[in-house]
Structure 1
């Protein structure tokens, strides 16, 4: 049975140095996870009122979360028509891969120069958990450990913000990868590529770690053409038209931020 939606408390996280996490940030993370994981498919309507009731908050933090998701091209906001989960942007996929490769190759080179034996052991544990998820056909767990491996490499580089930027820019890639994991034979290859990255790190060899990371990221989306054929409804069309043949409305997210009307 599906677990009930979480109600968001306004109380801060326990601990003397912890600040309260704004409701809008928590709603953003919850919705982002549902969209990336495919629980909210492309084209699904999104209601501010229903989300506010579901999470036990006012509509203001929901609206703030939706605007943030719109900036990530995960939500389309159409004036006078409604709000919908966006289709996957092929253009954003390609841009995301260029940005991700640039950032993560820098991160792994820096990490190779700083990594300790304890760090290597921690990375091995992550890959062990990923292997266990693969054997259990736990695709969500496999993806989560994949994310954790790359996040830890960024942290070990001494520049953790590299992962924050990469995570945001690769969100359309993640949507494709989640779609592809259950039907792909690539999971074993991913594990081998991760082990090659780890070997470069363990050898404290920035060049080897960089080569392994470049090869890994170059293979992230080998099945894009297959996905485009199998699930065209999940992707942006170059030109969308209405049933009457007229051009479709342009969502607010395509308007540059500086040109948006003042609220």
Structure 2
């Protein structure tokens, strides 16, 4: 599972704390939710959380007005109400770039996508925009952009009541996605093949051999799936074809974490042998044989994945997040 990004309030807290410790913010400077949020291009929620922590540590203090005052040990200092950029706040270069709304949304999207997609097999959910914003410490605008992008990929839908819904990923839906894949991925592979060197294909085959010999960590198995089904076909020439392939892959690849705990050793051995057979044919220059082997691999893989849907059990705790509300519990 991708690492969770540092909450925005912690970033704001760290930058302000350093400025205060270095004496870069003048005594008497008023720090409020509004001017801190503007300075960091954030919502008021993470700004407020950062300010409360600074207050609890005694670095800023309450006063008679709204907000807090910097350098509270100097009660005689006048109150300065300035934009923080005018008051001496300097954002680190990487933070200045990363805090732009477009960049925050782009960095947040893969984690939300993975969490939502991995939850689909456990039922139908409402995605709460406010809870998503609060959970990651971002603005409602950024949360809305993330949800809109999820809808464009087909992971979620916005229904007539204006609520966002995800799931369920049913056995029927899995079958439909696999059918799209075994039709389209061999076509994409045929177009991509001339762009690969023998060395690249041999390197990917070698990873499969290591896994067959016992190196079957989660990361290594994900890399093997990524090698063949994502990175290889991504070199095809037809952008519309590639988009169609990726839409059908997305939900199934994202649910590998869910399905992985239910995969048997026999299923993994079969999968690895099929991947190796595809690379063997590609390295031998047998493109027709490789495409036929890829189609056969996808046709066979459909059935164990459909079977796993019936054996998932309860949703694991690591997928339970406040912005995913099971339908029936939304109130």
What's the TM-score, normalizing by structure 1? 0.68
Q: Contact 1:115 / 1:204 at 8 angstroms: preserved in 2?
A: no
1:167 to 229, 246, 259: 246
Q: Contact 1:101 / 1:217 at 8 angstroms: preserved in 2?
A: yes
Distance change (3 Å), C-alpha of 1:127 and 1:58: same
Higher relative contact order structure (alpha carbons within 8 Å, sequence separation ≥ 6): 1
- Residue aligned with 1:222, SS: helix
Show the 5 A alignment for 1:51-70. Answer: 51-70=132-151
Q: Quick one: distance in 1 between partners of 2:97 and 2:248?
A: 31
CA offsets 1:126-161 (integer angstroms, 9 cap, x no match): 43575588633x2x6523431233223224545577
Q: Contact 2:184 / 2:245 at 8 angstroms: preserved in 1?
A: yes
What's the TM-score, normalizing by structure 2? 0.56
CA apart distance, 1:207: 1.0
Q: Quick one: distance in 2 between partners of 1:95 and 1:206?
A: 26
> Partner of 2:285 in structure 1?
204
Pair 1:6-2:6 in alignment? yes
Q: Contact 2:189 / 2:232 at 8 angstroms: preserved in 1?
A: yes
- Residue aligned with 1:230, SS: coil
Q: Contact 1:112 / 1:209 at 8 angstroms: preserved in 2?
A: no
Pair 1:32-2:148 in alignment? no
| Structure 2, unpaired ranges of 5+ | 9-94, 316-326
Q: Contact 1:112 / 1:200 at 8 angstroms: preserved in 2?
A: no
2:169 to 88, 101, 104: 88
1:142 to 210, 221, 244: 221
Q: Contact 2:209 / 2:276 at 8 angstroms: preserved in 1?
A: no
CA apart distance, 1:187: 1.0
Pair 1:188-2:274 in alignment? no
1:108 to 189, 192, 201: 189
Distance change (3 Å), C-alpha of 1:129 and 1:40: farther
- Residue aligned with 2:261, SS: helix
Distance change (3 Å), C-alpha of 1:202 and 1:224: closer
- Residue aligned with 2:282, SS: helix
> Partner of 1:153 in structure 2?
232
CA apart distance, 1:104: 1.2
Distance change (3 Å), C-alpha of 1:128 and 1:100: same
Q: Contact 1:43 / 1:87 at 8 angstroms: preserved in 2?
A: yes
CA apart distance, 1:193: 0.6
> Partner of 1:99 in structure 2?
180
CA apart distance, 1:231: 4.5
CA apart distance, 1:106: 1.1
| Structure 1, unpaired ranges of 5+ | 14-18, 235-241, 244-263
> Partner of 1:220 in structure 2?
301
- Residue aligned with 1:92, SS: helix
Distance change (3 Å), C-alpha of 1:165 and 1:131: farther
